[in-house]
Amino acid sequence: MVKSSQQDRFTRQLHDRVLQVWEQIHRHPFVQGIKDGSLPMERFMFYMKQDYVFLKDYAKLFALGAVKAEDTETIKWFSGLLHETLHTEMDLHRSYCKEIGIGEEELENEKATPINLAYTRYMLAASQQGSLAELVSCLLPCMWSYHEIGTMLKREAGNLSGHPYGPWIEMYASEDFGSLSRWLKDKLDEWAEGKTNQELEALQNHFLTTSRFEFMFWDMVYYGHEWPV
């Protein structure tokens, strides 16, 4: 089989389609505040708590991915990621919270804000009803955009020792995280081959919708949008 060139890869088309959304994420005051350390710690902790709730549901997408996958490599990959998210990634959240006196019980009892809930419900519903390719196109903007943000911040922030958000930047810029989105992108390119235009359009819509949710999540934690009543 001839491998498609970088230019006509399906995931390249997806990236081009959401470029403006992702650029706005990169410029978002929350992301910029992480970079220069000017983001108030109180805002960051609100984000950590909401993100903890988010990750509990997001991790379920990996469990669903393992259920939907046909081959052993993919089942192993999803189940490995389920474990990594609940341990490595959520450990970062637990340790930031522990430092300022927020215990695991408080984290466990945190309730999702409307945007947080809408985002995870959208992904879980689409993934339960749809194909494995649909599931991946829902969860990819989260993983891919975070690695882009992490590498951009690491490049631009300078020396991270003593930086309040250094551990966060280091984790998302890490090669381990980069390789996760690369693996998923390769799989999605493979699965997209032979799909009808209608099916591809469904994948594009999921990718755009969850990219928009990523932007709204940053906005929600920056402005503190909670339940109005």
Ligand X SMILES: Cc1ncc(C[n+]2csc(CCO)c2C)c(N)n1
Q: Which is nearer to ligand X, 81 or 132 (CB)?
A: 81
- Residue 46 or 54: which CB sits closer to ligand X? 54
Instruction: Find out whether 82 and 59 touch, Cβ atoms under 8 Å.
Output: yes
Binding residues with ligand X: total (CB under 6 A): 15
Q: How far is CA 149 from the centre of its chain?
A: 11
CB of 85 to ligand X, least distance (A): 4
Locus of tokens 């994948």: 203
Question: Is the Cβ–Cβ distance between 51 and 168 less than 8 Å?
Answer: no
Reference 135, options 50, 202, 86; nearest CA is 202
Q: How does DSSP assign 172-188, residue by residue?
A: HHSHHHHHHHHHHHHHH
Site for ligand X in 144-163 (CB under 6 A): 146
* Smallest separation, CB 25 to ligand X (Å): 10
> Cβ distance 139 to 58 under 8 Å?
yes
Which residues from 44-103 bind ligand X, rule CB under 6 A? 51, 54-55, 58, 81, 84-85, 89
23 in catalytic set? no
Active site residue 214: yes
Q: Which of 89, 97, 110, 142 is catalytic?
A: 142
Contact criterion met (CB below 8 Å) for 147 and 172? yes
Question: From the candidates 89, 134, 148, 214, which is the catalytic residue?
Answer: 214
Nearest-approach distance from CB 31 to ligand X, in angstroms: 12
Asked if 221 contacts 30 with a C-beta cutoff of 8 angstroms, the reply is: yes
Q: Does 180 bind ligand X (CB under 6 A)?
A: yes
| Active site amino acids | 142, 214
Name the site residues for ligand X (rule: CB under 6 A). 51, 54-55, 58, 81, 84-85, 89, 142-143, 146, 177, 180, 214, 217
